[in-house]
């Protein structure tokens, strides 16, 4: 998407969403400590992350991408060097032979777009996402990258035929070898089908919703195992506590 060459701070000032004094303060902060102007404006409390994202979306007639419900295969993430992802606070979400689409919180970051085009040799298109969602996506990607160095020993046990507890690295490698490759395959088939569906049409929730019935049908998991797994997840998230579960068990036992 092409944009008028107007920087984010200038756009917000022009629309009277921040004052000249606030913009000057943000620029001085940037000169002293670095960072992106949008993130600084949010950090200084001049606008919230959500409000800033909504305004950018309205101004440039863009949709906001929900990264939390998107599947981002590792192979796609590798299309952009790690240092550029961290430096410019962006994440790739789709690519073709000639075009790379990245999620950014500031589509007017022309330095990032120019560098990305130079490094990848592709035309760059942008989609909008909140800073928080991009931050979480980058953290998840970097966590996978950090675990990759641990995965090799776990995938090559010294004594075959003996089961061992899976290490954190091996689980990361297994996730990449299954979910990511499966998603790539599904997306490729979708894009080649007569329906010509967008490769971003499938989400993590869609994939898992499709997998669970298959696992149950094949008898690979039971409904009780699925229930127990959900309960453990809710406990880790703090939605349920042990006392509540005990009280519920007593209640059911008294019937």
Question: What spatial distance separates the first Cα and last Cα of the chain, rounded to whole Å?
Answer: 62
- pLDDT, one tens digit per residue, over 109-154 is 888 999 999 999 999 999 999 999 998 888 887 776 666 545 544 4
**Domain ranges for the chain:** 8-60, 64-152+166-203
Residue 157 confidence (pLDDT):
38
CATH domain 64-152+166-203 topology: GMP Synthetase; Chain A, domain 3 (3.30.300)
Distance in angstroms (rounded) separating the CA atoms of residues 53 and 49: 6
Sheet containing 123-128, strands listed edge to edge, beginning at the edge strand earlier in sequence: 90-95, 99-104, 123-128
pLDDT of residue 188: 64
- Taking the model in full, what pTM does it have? 0.52
Tens of pLDDT, residue by residue over 217-244, are 777 678 787 777 777 766 665 655 666 5
């Amino acid at each position: 998407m092409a944009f008028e060459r107007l920087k984010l701070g200038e756009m917000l000032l022009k629309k009277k969403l921040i004052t000249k004094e606030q913009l000057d303060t943000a620029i001085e902060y940037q000169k002293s400590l670095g960072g992106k102007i949008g993130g600084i404006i949010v950090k200084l409390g001049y606008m919230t992350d959500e409000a800033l994202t909504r305004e950018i979306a309205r101004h440039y007639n863009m949709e906001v991408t929900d990264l939390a419900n998107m599947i981002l295969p590792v192979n796609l993430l590798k299309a952009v060097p790690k240092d550029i992802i961290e430096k410019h606070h962006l994440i790739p979400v789709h690519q073709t032979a000639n075009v790379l689409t990245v999620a950014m919180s500031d589509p007017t970051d022309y330095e990032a777009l120019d560098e990305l085009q130079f490094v990848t040799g592709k035309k760059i298109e942008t989609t909008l996402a909140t800073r928080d969602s991009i931050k979480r996506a980058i953290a998840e990607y970097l966590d996978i990258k950090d675990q990759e160095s641990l995965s090799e020993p776990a995938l090559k046990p010294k004594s075959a035929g003996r089961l061992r507890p899976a290490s954190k690295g091996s689980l990361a490698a297994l996730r990449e070898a299954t979910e990511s490759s499966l998603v790539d395959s599904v997306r490729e088939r979708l894009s080649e089908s007569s329906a010509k569906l967008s490769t971003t049409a499938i989400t993590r929730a869609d994939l898992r919703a499709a997998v669970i019935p298959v696992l149950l049908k094949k008898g690979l998991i039971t409904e009780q195992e699925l229930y127990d797994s959900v309960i453990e997840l809710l406990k880790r998230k703090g939605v349920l506590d042990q006392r509540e579960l005990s009280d519920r068990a007593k209640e059911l036992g008294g019937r």
